[in-house]
Amino acid sequence: MLEVKKFTFNPFSENTFIISNKLNDAIIIDPGCYYKEEQKVIDDYVSQNSLKIHAVLHTHSHLDHMFGTAYIIENYNVNLWIHKNDEITYESFEKVCDVYGIPNIQFPQKSPLFFNADNRININDIEFQILNVPGHSPGHVAFYNKENNFVINGDCLFENSIGRTDLPGGNHDQLLKSIKENLFVLPDQTIVYTGHGNETTIGKEKRTNSFLL
Note the residues at the interface with Zn ion (CB under 5 A).
Answer: 62, 155
Least CB distance to Zn ion at residue 158 (A): 11
Least CB distance to Zn ion at residue 117 (A): 24
Least CB distance to Zn ion at residue 48 (A): 29
Q: Which is nearer to Zn ion, 20 or 194 (CB)?
A: 194
Neighbours of 41 (CB within 10 A): 15
Q: What's the CA dihedral at 130, 137, 14, 27 to 10 degrees?
A: 30
Q: Which is nearer to Zn ion, 62 or 83 (CB)?
A: 62
3 state DSSP class of 105: coil
With 0-12 / 13-18 / 19 or more C-beta atoms within 10 angstroms meaning exposed / middle / buried, residue 61 is: buried
Residue number of the CB closest to Zn ion reads 62
Least CB distance to Zn ion at residue 136 (A): 6
| Beta partners for residue 151, in sequence order | 144, 192
Give 142's contacts (C-beta < 8 A, 6+ positions apart): 59, 130, 131, 133, 151, 152, 153, 154, 156, 182, 183
Least CB distance to Zn ion at residue 150 (A): 19
| Beta partners for residue 9, in sequence order | 14
Q: Which is nearer to Zn ion, 25 or 155 (CB)?
A: 155
Q: Which is nearer to Zn ion, 32 or 108 (CB)?
A: 32
Q: Which is nearer to Zn ion, 137 or 145 (CB)?
A: 137
